[in-house]
Amino acid sequence: MPYTTHTQQALFAPFVDSQALAQAELENYIETQASAVAPEELTSVVCSFYDHEVYALEKLIAKITYDHDDFQTQRWFTFMV
């Protein structure tokens, strides 16, 4: 008894390639715009498990700290400088 196997080629190969190209262009555009809006590099410093600081160009811009007193509603506070 002969047995026949049918195969099907991918129908969307050109679409996937153009979609991947469009996605790469979009990611490049977003990265370019982000560096134009905020060109400085952010640096995060972990002082301890409960205290973190964020710097932009050597300047402190935010401090994140854990509040041990208010453990039921707000455990973490963010202070923007």
pLDDT in tens, 49-62: 889 998 888 889 88
Cα dihedral 29→32→36→40 (10° resolution): 140
- Alpha-carbon distance of 44 to 55, in angstroms, equals 6
Let me know: does 66 contact 79? Beta carbons within 8 Å.
no
Q: Is the whole model's pTM more than 0.85, yes or no?
A: no
pLDDT in tens, 19-42: 888 889 999 998 888 777 766 678
Report residue 25 CA to chain centroid gap.
17
Q: H or E element: which one contains 80?
A: strand 76-80
Lookup: tokens for 79: 């202070």
